[in-house]
Amino acid sequence: MERLRVLVTRRWPEAVELALAERFDAVFNGTDEPLSQAELAQAMGEFDILCPTVSDRIDADVIAGGDRVKLIANYGVGFDHIDLDAARANAIAVTNTPGVLTDATADIAMTLLLMAARRAGEGERELRAGRWDGWRPTHLIGSALKDKVLGLVGFGRIGIATARRAKHGFGMRIAYFGRREADADVVAELGAEYHPDLTGLLAASDFVSLHVPGGAETANLIDAEALSAMKPGAYLINTARGGVIDHEALANALAVGELAGAGLDVYPEEPQIPAALLGLENVVLLPHLGSANSETRIAMGMKALANAEAFAAGKPLPDPVA
């Protein structure tokens, strides 16, 4: 039987590329350079399955490029880089990789929170630049975590996993904002306090961590007004999507000391970093490392593969988003 043609837009872990090559007529991107919009559009007419990731913009023009692709098996849980309406209008199914990157992303949220609270980036920069002149009682004083309130904006899988680490590992108190109250067992385990409105959560939290999907619904959710609702001296952590924050407003709040610090893993126009942030000492900037451990990246690829295999076999897709 003829094998379906699959295009993988970036390098994936070797084990997953090998598994894909066994089952499909797969084309890999040996250079790992992002494909242009024109190359992505052309692929729509040449392959049966497209396997993009967050660094590819699969917009309506790309989707209109050809009518052969009938599955977009995204490598990653977020799918705001894919125009779902255009995919649906062209009868293209879209899948993602939920579940397998929960722990890795929660670990990075806590990494950012600790680095911001304990000024780890500042300290490392100082030391490497030869500016550290020794221990003193008032040097790089940060904030404790115990008994501080961590406010989660979005309380899905990753938000809850972050709350667990904060509560059970660091003795933080947990509050959250979401569309609905969490399950009773989660609330009981975490002693989590529900805030039905965002402003209430922001005003009650010493640390705020964002865990909502990207896209139009959450664009600039944390704008100047939201930032001014936060406690003076609070911290903001983002491992969700860059578009959720107005970064100019955030840079202002950090520069004038309204916020004590921030930790960011994601940006609106990656890999560009909003210029206003680069000169600030009190923001930790990571290059979208949320899912970057070897076990997770392999599991993400295997999930995309499972979706492609189900599609090839005409079975229900395990992780449909459109």
Which residues are tagged catalytic? 241, 270, 288
- 78 sits near ligand DGY (criterion: CB under 6 A): yes
- 162 sits near ligand DGY (criterion: CB under 6 A): no
Integer Cα distance of 73 and 62 in angstroms: 15
Task: Between 76 and 121, name the residue whose CB sits nearer to ligand DGY.
Answer: 76
Helix 102-117 vs helix 120-128: crossing angle, to nearest 10? 70
Coil, helix or strand at residue 75: strand
Integer Cα distance of 98 and 114 in angstroms: 26
Task: Between 53 and 205, name the residue whose CB sits nearer to ligand DGY.
Answer: 53
Task: Between 155 and 175, name the residue whose CB sits nearer to ligand DGY.
Answer: 155
User: Minimum distance from CB of 30 to ligand DGY (Å)?
Assistant: 21
CB atoms within 10 A of CB 303: 25
Q: Yes or no: say if 81 and 38 are a contact pair by the CB < 8 Å rule.
A: no
Q: Yes or no: say if 199 and 152 are a contact pair by the CB < 8 Å rule.
A: no
Residue type, 240: A
- 301 sits near ligand DGY (criterion: CB under 6 A): no
- 101 sits near ligand DGY (criterion: CB under 6 A): yes
- 291 sits near ligand DGY (criterion: CB under 6 A): yes
Q: Yes or no: say if 189 and 176 are a contact pair by the CB < 8 Å rule.
A: no
Q: Which of 35, 49, 72, 77 binds ligand DGY (CB under 6 A)?
A: 77
Task: Between 77 and 149, name the residue whose CB sits nearer to ligand DGY.
Answer: 77
**Site mask, ligand DGY, residues 35-74, x = CB under 6 A?**
-------------------x--------------------
Cα–Cα separations (whole angstroms), residue 53 to 37, 60, 316 = 13, 16, 22
- 154 sits near ligand DGY (criterion: CB under 6 A): no
Task: Between 71 and 175, name the residue whose CB sits nearer to ligand DGY.
Answer: 71
- 214 sits near ligand DGY (criterion: CB under 6 A): no
The H-assigned helical ranges of 72-231 are 84-89, 102-117, 120-128, 157-164, 170, 184-190, 198-204, 224-229
Cα torsion 283, 287, 289, 292 to 10°: value is -150
- 237 sits near ligand DGY (criterion: CB under 6 A): no
- 305 sits near ligand DGY (criterion: CB under 6 A): no
- 290 sits near ligand DGY (criterion: CB under 6 A): yes
Integer Cα distance of 156 and 162 in angstroms: 10
Binding-site ranges for ligand DGY (CB under 6 A): 54, 76-78, 101, 290-291
